[in-house]
Amino acid sequence: MFRSVFHAVLTIVCGFAVSQAQESLTKARTQYFPDTTNNIHLEMVFNYNVTDINTESGVVDMVWASDYPNQPEGVYNTVYIPYSVDNFTNSVVWYQKHHPDWLEYHCDRKTLAFEFGSTSLAPIDFANPAVQAYQWVNWVDAPLAQGYGGIAVDTMSASSNWGRCGHYDLSGNWVQQYTGKLHDPAYQRDELAWEAATYKHVHNYSKTATMQVNVSYEFGYSEQVNLRLMTTTDLLFDERGFTNYGTPPNVPPPVQWEQIMAVLKYVQRKGVCYMTNGEESELTTDIPQSARLWVIANYLLAKNNCTYMYMTGFTSGGGQDYGSLITFPEYSIPIGHATGAMRKTQGVWARSYSGGLALVNPFYETATVTLPSGSYVDVNGNPVGPTLTMAGQTGEVLLNAQ
């Protein structure tokens, strides 16, 4: 009998849970994040374009990488920290002058291992204890002392994407650390060690401070590494979410959808909060309602008391449209609280809420669903039922008719 990838992944992650339980990491601090039991809750991604910070009040629960440590009141703010490059603090020339042994190079031993095409952010040796100490004092402790609730760690990955190979010591001798290839166990080891050490440092620094990490599951890389990266944290920010980073067709294949959802459930069972990011490929103002409902319905399938979402498109220049307060009408729907777990039924996945029903068809085939007893309307107030036909790879949110 065929066993789905969903169940296969669950078998793998449950087995891994036994081994990970033996690790002595500090327990996640989910209790300090805003409660998300009822309705839809937002974690805004950056806010550098917000001119009136008070407009966030009552709209977003948290800000990933905020420009403000404790404003406005009631919003949980985190501070940005990249783990492998300079944090917009010092130039490459500064590192060459003061800490040349901290700079990382490609295997040609000449080219700095810059990331994302940016030649202004120095690539630094995060495995060096002196670098870690510098990061903690300046990029962690200082902003936490200003009032930030936690740190937001960016660009972590199971793959070694930027070809870093090694550095020179203070005597000018080459120190080879990595292969420069995407699959590099040594790189993964050092990255996991940095994450665990920083997580421990944050929790030791303050009884309430938290850590969030931007990690999305990378297919084709070690299951163990992926899951450790995704759970050595208080909150997982999944930038890919269910929209493939905004890469058309913006929906993962069914097999990947099942794997993403299985891993997400594993992360939640480990006591880690979750934020699903919905990047769409069009301009933010052009995101259709069907795409918005896909993101929201998937969010509702997985939501517990500590689950957030956000949705953006791209700018006219092709950049990520982060930093602005973006809302959609669907965020205010009175969906209420979940009354059961997500379940597979009639060719779709569904979850009942006190205020309605969330449905996701992650498969390619069209499915016709007989709705539970009751009267329903869609998010626009149009009557729906007693059956609903869902095209493949779509989401729907239905509300109880008044």
**5-20 pLDDT, tens per residue?**
333 444 444 444 434 4
Residue 37 reports pLDDT greater than 80? yes
What integer best gives the mean pLDDT of the chain? 93
Q: Which CATH number is associated with domain 334-402? A: 2.60.40.1180
Look at residues 33, 34, 60, 58 and name the one whose alpha carbon lies nearest to residue 325: 60
Q: State the pLDDT at residue 21.
A: 37
Q: What is the tens place of the pLDDT at every residue in 341-369?
A: 999 999 999 999 999 999 999 999 999 99
pLDDT for 11: 45
Determine what percent of the chain is predicted with pLDDT higher than 90. 92
pLDDT in tens, 369-401: 999 999 999 999 999 989 999 999 999 999 999
Tokens, residue 61:
């629960």
pTM of the model: 0.92
Q: What's phi and psi for 214, nearest 5 deg?
A: -95, 100
Sorted by sequence, the CB contacts under 8 Å of residue 336 that are 6+ apart come out as 38, 39, 353, 354, 355, 356
Domains 5-332 and 334-402 share a fold: no
Q: Please give the average per-residue pLDDT across 135-140, as a whole number.
A: 98
User: Which pLDDT score is estimated for 402?
Assistant: 78
Q: Is the pLDDT of residue 84 over 90?
A: yes
Q: Which two tokens stand for residue 349?
A: 């996945």
Res 25: pLDDT: 60
Section 108-115 average pLDDT: 98
- What pLDDT, on the 0 to 100 scale, is given for residue 27? 86
Question: Which pLDDT score is estimated for 264?
Answer: 96
Which CATH number is correct for 5-332, 3.20.20.120, 1.10.490.20, 3.40.50.620, 3.20.20.70?
3.20.20.70
Per residue in 226-282, pLDDT tens? 999 999 999 999 999 999 999 999 999 999 999 999 999 999 999 999 999 999 999
What is the DSSP code (8-state) at residue 353? E
Distance in angstroms between the alpha carbons of the first and the last residue of the chain: 45
**pLDDT grade for 26, boundaries at 50, 70 and 90:** low
H or E segment and range at residue 129? helix 129-135
The domain segmentation of the chain, as residue ranges, is: 5-332, 334-402
The Cα 368–Cα 384 span in angstroms is 13
What percentage of the chain exceeds 70 in pLDDT?
Answer: 94
Q: Residue 290: which pLDDT band, with cuts at 50, 70 and 90? A: very high
Phi, psi of 114 (to 5 degrees): -65, 155
Q: pLDDT-based confidence at 306, cuts 50/70/90?
A: very high
| SS3 category, 344 | strand
Give the residue among 364, 396, 389 at the shortest CA–CA distance from 258. Answer: 364
